[in-house]
Amino acid sequence: MATNASGLFTTPTVPSVRGKIKPSIRIFGSGFRSPDGISKRVFCSSTFEGAEKHVGASPSESRAPRLVSKGCKLIGCGSAVPSLKISNDDLAKVVDTNDEWISVRTGIRNRRILSGKESLTTLAVEAALKALEMAEVDVDDVDLILMCTSSPDDLFGSAPQVQKALGCKRNPLAYDITAACSGFVMGLVSAACHIRGGGFKNVLVIGADALSRFVDWTDRGTCILFGDAAGAVLVQACDSEDDSLLAFDLHSDGDGNRHLNAAFKESETDELGSNGSVLGFPPRRASFSCLQMNGKEVFRFAVRVVPQSIEAALAKAGVPASSIDWLLLHQANQRILDGVSSRMQIPSEQVISNLANYGNTSAASIPLALDEAVRSGKVKPGHTIAAAGFGAGLTWGSTIFRWG
């Protein structure tokens, strides 16, 4: 048996069965569905049961290999935050605001900001090592690293640097996922796809952002919201009957980009000078603008689409809302958390929130809150969690999973 470029197993000696066997399943976005309409959590895998016996066999002796489905389970988590803590009172010294104004409107009292020799990569590595330690998985057993961030240390992505800093000797694939505050949910789904369809066993999903780099610290409407952090989980392959990543629901709407963005812009001055060259060349030096947000529109967007997305994911999973142990939302604003939980009729004591201590940490917020809840004993193995991310893009998505 050989492998192709994607890692999937190939069996050259097995004759084609295309057109000879009618498909018994239809493919849907969240997996597969049988003709009778009953959802089946069965996914492609790179493991073919019994295929080894037929390599080199004659056409009369060979048979088409059967795909053995794989499940996913979340078995370890970790987080890291910068050492510098900025309180609302500290912010009041640099912008026209105060603790009461911020806490009443957002629920935020403190946030952590990168400083000194700290970097997003060092935070991501610290969170990843803690997740691996909890999962009891060696660094060299990691097959894939997904770095969910919109503020990498390098324009071309930070994932390979995280891989290097972790000391992975087998050079596993590592790449960035850019989806802002929805990034971690997108990362979980991507991990599941790699495990179920690509044969990967241990996938590190890291959510890390340092939006303090793109905040206008003179704008009290946005600077009060954001902090820096990293969180990570280890997603591991398991037998299909032990699958813990039950369903997902993902969306995007580029029309909403005008409400939340940090757009690319050219410098207003022509630093290079044209020197009589072609008009418009060389291009002017460029950078990204500070984060721009229409808070009211983002609030309306979140409280409308997040409950819909979670309900859709629950329906795909075949799980009633009453069986949810915890609601874990992107930590953007306490009013959003309250609005979503109210619409879904989920009691506040079942809503995980650490917003007061860290503010909006973008892609890090869900794994950071999850890690604190797990380590405090609040979230226990077997608990069912409905998680949802939402933000710039606009993007949003939810997933239903069992911890441990």
Q: Is 11 among the domain residues? A: no
Q: Report yes or no on 267 lying in a domain.
A: no
pLDDT at 26: 36
The active-site residue out of 77, 330, 333, 357 is 330
238 as an active site residue: the answer is no
Distance CA 177, CA 193 (A): 14
Residue 60, pLDDT > 50, answer no
Please indicate, yes or no, whether the overall pTM of this predicted structure exceeds 0.85.
no
288 domain-assigned? no
User: Would you say the C-alpha torsion 314, 318, 322, 327 has a positive or negative sign?
Assistant: negative
- Is 153 a domain residue? yes
Hey, what's the torsion of the CAs at 380, 382, 383, 385, to 10 degrees? 120
The CATH number assigned to the domain holding 386 equals 3.40.47.10
> Cα angle at 134 between 363 and 210, to 5 degrees?
20
Asked if residue 178 is part of any domain, the answer here is yes
**Domain range spanning residue 149?**
71-253+293-403
Q: pLDDT per residue over 279-312, tens digit each?
A: 677 777 778 888 888 888 998 999 999 999 999 9
Active-site residue flag, 330: yes
pLDDT mean across residues, the chain:
84
Is 18 a member of any domain? no
Q: Kindly state whether residue 204 falls inside one of the protein's structural domains.
A: yes
Question: What's the pLDDT tens digit per position in 236-265?
Answer: 999 999 999 999 999 999 998 888 878 877
**pLDDT band (50, 70, 90) for residue 33:** very low
- Note if 360 is an active site residue: yes
Q: Which of these, 86, 123, 350, 116, lies nearest to 226 by C-alpha position?
A: 86
- What total number of domains does the chain contain? 1
In a domain, 277, yes or no: no
The catalytic position among 181, 202, 223, 357 is: 181
